[in-house]
Chain A
């Protein structure tokens, strides 16, 4: 009889959601049993249902969501011992019609082919799923040029944001003459609201190692560096384990698999600077300096790390490579649109019912990603906007939701594909506040080299702060727009060049919301604290004192069974009171 495998999602968010006590319960209750094996796996993509436990009985798979130690015991006694699926708890199943089955039907699994299936700390499990087949194939039966041809044929474009054709980039790096070259993996993932790279690094680190090795062979490099942000301790841990195991098996190091190719990789930890995701800043940071971008050319392919030719790609880009070599560039190009091939991973977050990681073929309309796969907006609220591309991207309204996810179509809207973060916003989100949020972010993260980026964004932020404070002037919007274009034109690196995008797209699609703040001194989403007031309706209040107890600043006074009132000078507009009033006597205007 086949062993039953029980998989527990132990990515960092799984742990945060409480997966560890579940794992411990399973280990305790199943200890000594030879028919069941417990596996710690990475992200399954269904992050909103965490903690997650999957029971895999010879390919019959069922995933359970919101698992507690008690439910874990039920899974053992009912499913494992009696073969009865817990229908009330199953969220995904090959056996029954579970609630999220539809969510995965429209997805593909290239980048996420292993995440959530294998234990990332065991190289054997990666190898069992075609792992390291691609590097073997490349080294034993392909010339470096043929590898590059295949990557070109796949149509793969860089997943770090700009979408530059990966094969072409490799070709340039190959063409650069030098005694030493570097392959760098950009694992800085600074875009807030995006966690695709983290999931791959934690859940399938060998796919990055293999992708980088193939790149090394293709361009003629023997050194690899993974630049990983320090905020991802589990990713760094799993990567380090993977590197050691790959060396032990001679899949890294000298004369790999006896096929005459040397390649090794080390990890460089970031130290907390968003701009270090920019490739020239990243290279300065690898060398230990301040992460200041520099002008290009020279491009990294000619002068990169330590002055040597360097090929730099994003985590997700590398995660595609082994699949492409195994299945052929053509198979990859079969997915997607004419100019954007393959699949793309998106991190769905914000006001969305099914937040998590999804991988879809390029070209799927944004609407389908958010509503069909992501389940739309929770709590019966109305969709307002989706933010794509983080601080360099933009906010798109309902009317743009039929835009397909491909580089050109998204660029045409004023947003960018970016790395794949999709933050959904509902009617309770203030668009002006969001624009202010992003400018605060880039203002903090600007390296300060270019006056337009440093001072221009500061001026823009001051205007937005004024608008949110109810002191906006009618001419402010034109001033903002004018400055936005100046900052775009006058900045050296992508950070400054794209920093105004959130402002420009919101001005384009949500101008009336800015105008409400300026002309009517009103925040339609009721977020900007200077423009809202909480009041108690004397007709409705029953004097239950709940609100007064809840208020963190004691702004509410009144005796029991008597009318309560809010002191507007003390109230900090935190909205706590409104949530506790049993008779809905409190309103916000």
Chain B
């Protein structure tokens, strides 16, 4: 990634201590290591990858290779509220694309992006397993079902004040 290796910031090193300890003790694997990093920072910062790759003697190519393969890992911080709109089959035939368009228009974001004020990130996912309530979205950990475009926007607006 970078040609000159500078020392990672101290706070990153400190935050990673338990992660590295766990990995060494449990002989963890790259996926659980990345999941741990993401839980710690909310995303996968480049500094963190540099640090664990040096400390644990793993190639950063391997780490990035695994991270980029799985949809769960992000390289950018998320918004305060993470919206996962289901774009699975059942939700698709119930018009979830219209919801996606309405949410993008209303909040001025694109799928995969975050609003300027950092309030919402929007992701499309394939099936949340609540197909009988289609169309469905998950906001943070909570599933909202039987949506219409207007209702989706209404629900999301309530999260503004919740924060």
Contacts and interface: CB of A to CB of B under 8 A. Distances in A.
B126 interface: yes
Contacts of B29: 287-289
Nearest to A550: B150
A434 interface: yes
B35 interface: yes
Nearest to A230: B72
A198 B126 CA distance: 14
A442 to B, nearest CB: 11
B133 interface: yes
A193 B132 contact: no
Contacts of B87: 192
A423 B126 contact: no
B134 A350 contact: yes
Contact of A423 (B28, B86, B89, B146): B89
Given A13-B145, A437-B89, A198 B129 contact: yes
B31 A285 contact: yes
A43 to B, nearest CB: 10
A434 B144 CA distance: 24
Given A231-B125, A350-B90, A48 B132 contact: yes
A299 interface: no
B130 A12 contact: yes
Contacts of B102: 552, 574
Contacts of A438: 89
A13 B105 contact: no
B92 A437 contact: yes
Nearest to B90: A349
B71 interface: yes
A13 B130 contact: yes
Contact of A351 (B31, B72, B93, B106): B93
A552 B130 CA distance: 28
Contacts of A195: 127, 129-132
B71 A272 contact: yes
A47 B88 contact: no
Given A350-B89, A351-B93, A572-B101, A231 B134 contact: no
Contact of B71 (A13, A271, A348, A356): A271
Contacts of B69: 273, 290-291, 447
A144 interface: no
Given A17-B145, A423-B93, A574-B98, A272 B72 contact: yes
Contact of B143 (A16, A271, A289): A16
A552 B106 CA distance: 8
A288 B105 contact: no
A444 to B, nearest CB: 8
A272 B98 contact: no
A421 interface: yes
B129 A231 contact: yes
Contacts of B92: 434, 437
Query: Could you say which of B29, B88, B94, B146 has the most chain A C-beta atoms within 10 Å of its C-beta?
Result: B88
Interface residues of B, number: 48
Contact of A193 (B34, B105, B127, B145): B127
B49 interface: no
Nearest to A231: B128
A465 to B, nearest CB: 14
Contact of A269 (B33, B35, B126, B150): B35
A17 B93 contact: no
Nearest to A553: B105
B85 interface: no
A531 B42 CA distance: 43
Interface in A187-215: 189-195, 198
A233 interface: yes
Nearest to A354: B132
Interface in B58-106: 65-66, 69-73, 86-94, 98, 101-102, 105-106
A274 interface: yes
B32 interface: yes
A271 B133 contact: no
Given A232-B129, A288-B31, A552-B105, A193 B90 contact: yes
B9 interface: no
A69 interface: no
Contacts of A16: 130, 133, 136, 142-145
Contacts of B127: 190-195, 231
Interface string A349-364: 1110001100000000
A327 interface: no
Contacts of B93: 350-351, 423, 425, 429, 434
A418 to B, nearest CB: 11
B160 to A, nearest CB: 19
With most chain B CB atoms within 10 A of its CB, the pick from A50, A191, A194, A231 is A231
Interface in A1-47: 12-13, 15-17, 47
Interface string A422-452: 0101000100001001100100000100000
A123 interface: no
Nearest to A421: B89
A232 B127 CA distance: 10
26 contacts: A13-B129, A15-B143, A16-B143, A16-B144, A189-B129, A192-B91, A193-B90, A193-B127, A195-B129, A198-B129, A231-B127, A233-B141, A271-B31, A272-B71, A272-B72, A287-B29, A289-B30, A290-B66, A291-B69, A349-B134, A438-B89, A552-B105, A552-B106, A552-B149, A574-B101, A574-B102
7 tightest A-B CB contacts, nearest first: A288-B29, A192-B88, A272-B71, A16-B143, A271-B70, A47-B132, A355-B132
Given A192-B126, A288-B33, 16 more contacts: A16-B143, A190-B127, A194-B131, A198-B129, A231-B128, A273-B69, A288-B28, A288-B29, A291-B69, A348-B132, A350-B134, A421-B89, A421-B131, A423-B93, A437-B89, A552-B149
Interface of B: 28-35, 65-66, 69-73, 86-94, 98, 101-102, 105-106, 125-134, 136, 141-146, 149-150
